[in-house]
Chains A and B, each alone.
Chain A
Amino acid sequence: GQQVMQIPQYQHVQEGEDFTTYCNSSTTLSNIQWYKQRPGGHPVFLIQLVKSGEVKKQKRLTFQFGEAKKNSSLHITATQTTDVGTYFCACRSNYQLIWGAGTKLIIKP
């Protein structure tokens, strides 16, 4: 079945540094969604990408979908403490969401 691999598992950054998480698949993805889950919370939808090479921005967050539609990335510029949480990519496959393992953003004290 379809799988999405997400790296890294953790990223420790100083507040103000940038953060990036990557999502890859061996097969072409029809779409990619990104979610954020705060500690102890539930996933919250951030965005969906469907077009090859698509780039979308939400304030300090930049989402990209690769030209071959096999990879995607989320980049956060100048991280803030409110960005702490785990960021998941997910792909819709029929009725299911196939999830990456997530990247946990940790702000160094």
Chain B
Amino acid sequence: NAGVMQNPRHLVRRRGQEARLRCSPMKGHSHVYWYRQLPEEGLKFMVYLQKENIIDESGMPKERFSAEFPKEGPSILRIQQVVRGDSAAYFCASSPDQGGPSYNEQFFGPGTRLTVL
């Protein structure tokens, strides 16, 4: 059973460009979470999605950031008009349906390291 897949692993963008980060959850997992991690800091929750639905986006910046989890295909975190402050590691995690999401372990992908020049 493959783990959570994220691509690309490293992404370099110039200021003003768009960044698209992809996440394929583990097989059988329909809950996806995105986190951002700055160097030497803990992870900060951004958004929680189930298939075709955004459940909680309270951690997402109001502008330039969006996320989706379509019926088919990976979850996408999209950052428009990137700025230097967007440079960070972005981690995706998934959890299974059984038992509900409240107490389940979250399985993390390897992350995408975004660098904005």
Contacts and interface: CB of A to CB of B under 8 A. Distances in A.
Given A41-B110, A43-B108, A45-B105, A95 B33 contact: yes
A28 to B, nearest CB: 16
Interface in B81-117: 91, 101-103, 105-111
A97 B106 contact: yes
A61 to B, nearest CB: 16
B109 A92 contact: no
Nearest to A41: B110
B55 interface: yes
A19 B98 CA distance: 35
B44 interface: yes
Counting chain A CB atoms within 10 Å of each CB, the highest count among B55, B91, B103 belongs to B103
Contact of B55 (A44, A88, A90, A95): A95
7 contacts: A41-B110, A94-B56, A94-B102, A96-B56, A96-B58, A99-B42, A102-B42
